[in-house]
Chain A
């Protein structure tokens, strides 16, 4: 059990970390443009006059900061050493705030958005998929299938933009940007929570609408195999009410396999959350990334990259390891 279940998952986990983090190290060094020169160019082109000696000194400091000193291998090792101590370097535009502090500040927003949209879309998609399998020819399930399938391929960015135009501009029911109203007092009270919900409604809606389709499809595929199982046929023959068969015989058994298919999608959904945040200026990691792009804060972009690789792969490992707890059939094997 331990050998067959645990070890392959750990190998996969560490391979993901190794490949991902090495990619983040290698990419900037493979590409032709040099981040240090770009940074210096940005400073000088802002109209300041800089003494050549000062520029040279700045170049040295920047190289040290980016860990660009020494040979490639030496850089690589010191890069890993810094990561293990949780040091992602300082942010450039908000010097000397460390990158990790900025990420920590915006992380709860992204996590909230992800959890809310995932649980909602999971519930809705699963129920709709179950209904589709149980009543394949009803007009309701045909309509939901058409909708779920038609919306699914639309990119996150386009969906967010369309919702923003519709419900924040044309019919201004919801605010255009931000996580809470400017000047509102942060605290655990009804007024603030209402404000919070109003601001997060559109970002969550945008993600939920796009993700329902995936859950729906997966549920439909898993459950349509279950319908032909003996115990379902028996339940039907013994005259159990249809609703009982649907909810406690078909859906109950289809829910768990559905979750496994999800792990591999997590990276994609996470990217979607970043994009959605950028459109709605929701104060999470996406908006942080956006501000880093605008300001050319290269260290912050690297930091967010490393953090998202570690975060997504760890989340996936946890889902994988929890799986036997959810499904008794796997547990007792």
Chain B
């Protein structure tokens, strides 16, 4: 595991970039816990200050220190991504593995239901839920709801991987030589699934962060909790674009884009690592 990470770090620039940036964001999340201000409260500092040594990114029109709000927002968005992704992971893995291993009629029925969840436009449905719950949408509740809907695509992905693993030579050899089914799964198939689950999870976190930003921009979340989305919401509410308060509106946008790019590079790098041919190219050729 660590050897693999070290390998990818050395040979794949995208992985190195993504991993480093993600570490920085984790560091930011930890630092945000030591914020000198209450980032949920308004008017804790004088309003509309330019960036200075006291307020690194200045202050906004609702009297918050942008730097510390941004740090907390990053932490909250990351936590939300992790909560939602873990919930949808559990569902996706259970559905994908069961469907893949059981096969037959069970598989067909499950896949029809699964594809339905892929086809149904989730965005209006999430809006419907969020309009009803609105201000009670704390980070865990929002994570739970987004997680409950974001599993179908990945369940399909995991299932197809299982289907191809089931047909491989080594599976047949293992079964013929008398290995128990659960042992085949745990020792032979599991190592193939882990990187796939990781890259799919990262992609899911990207989707969740984007969804949070979109729902918050519509005012459909708990607007007192600083997240990347609510930061943009308040900046737009107070006309930060027209007042040209770029320190306010651009901070969350840049954080969002950099975070998403880093995550995306990590996930593409990991999914290419899955393919032994590109892995060899990566580690040997250079």
Which A residues are closer than 8 A to B by beta carbons? 11-12, 15-16, 19-20, 23-24, 27-28, 31-33, 35, 38, 149-150, 152-158, 161-162, 165, 169, 264, 266-268, 270-271, 274-275, 278, 289-290, 293-294, 296, 298, 301-302, 304-305, 308-309, 312-313, 316
Contact = CB atoms under 8 A, between A and B. Distances in A.
B125 interface: yes
A274 B206 CA distance: 19
A65 B249 CA distance: 42
Contact of A302 (B118, B128, B213, B214): B128
Given A161-B232, A305-B128, A150 B261 contact: yes
A270 B121 contact: yes
Contact of B119 (A11, A24, A278, A313): A313
Interface in B220-254: 220, 232, 241-242, 249, 253
Interface of B: 112-113, 115-125, 127-129, 131-133, 136, 206, 209-211, 213-214, 217-220, 232, 241-242, 249, 253, 256-257, 260-261, 263-264, 268
Contacts of B117: 19
B119 A316 contact: yes
6 contacts: A15-B112, A27-B128, A157-B213, A270-B123, A293-B219, A312-B119
Contacts of A296: 131
B119 A267 contact: yes
Nearest to A34: B132
A312 B127 CA distance: 17
B246 to A, nearest CB: 9
A152 B264 contact: yes
Contacts of A157: 210, 213-214, 217
Given A153-B260, A155-B214, A158-B213, A264 B118 contact: yes
A150 B209 CA distance: 17
Contacts of A153: 206, 260-261, 263-264
B73 to A, nearest CB: 14
Given A31-B129, A31-B132, A293-B218, A274 B123 contact: yes
The 10 closest A-B pairs by CB, nearest first: A155-B210, A271-B123, A153-B264, A267-B121, A16-B116, A20-B120, A19-B116, A305-B124, A157-B214, A308-B121
Given A149-B268, A158-B253, A302-B128, A266 B119 contact: yes
A155 B120 contact: no
Contacts, number: 128
Contacts of B241: 165, 169
Contacts of B119: 16, 264, 266-267, 312-313, 316
A101 to B, nearest CB: 19
Contacts of B232: 161
Nearest to B120: A20
A305 B132 CA distance: 14
A271 B121 contact: yes
A267 B120 contact: yes
Contacts of B249: 165
Nearest to A168: B241
B122 A267 contact: yes
Nearest to B229: A157
Contact of B127 (A152, A162, A169, A301): A301
B131 A301 contact: yes
Contact of A15 (B116, B132, B218): B116
Contacts of A155: 209-211, 213-214, 256, 260
A144 B280 CA distance: 25
A296 B219 CA distance: 12
A264 B206 CA distance: 19
Nearest to B212: A155
A312 B118 CA distance: 11
Given A33-B136, A301-B128, A305-B127, 10 more contacts: A16-B119, A16-B120, A27-B125, A31-B129, A153-B261, A162-B253, A289-B124, A290-B218, A305-B124, A308-B121
Nearest to A159: B257
Nearest to A217: B268
Contacts of A149: 264, 268
B251 to A, nearest CB: 13
A165 B261 CA distance: 20
A289 B261 CA distance: 29
Contacts of B219: 293-294
B124 A274 contact: yes
Nearest to B123: A271
A33 B121 contact: no
A28 B249 CA distance: 34
- The interface centre, meaning the residue of B112, B123, B219, B264 with most chain A CB atoms within 10 A of its CB, is B123
Nearest to A266: B119
- The interface centre, meaning the residue of B128, B210, B260 with most chain A CB atoms within 10 A of its CB, is B128
Contacts of B257: 154, 158
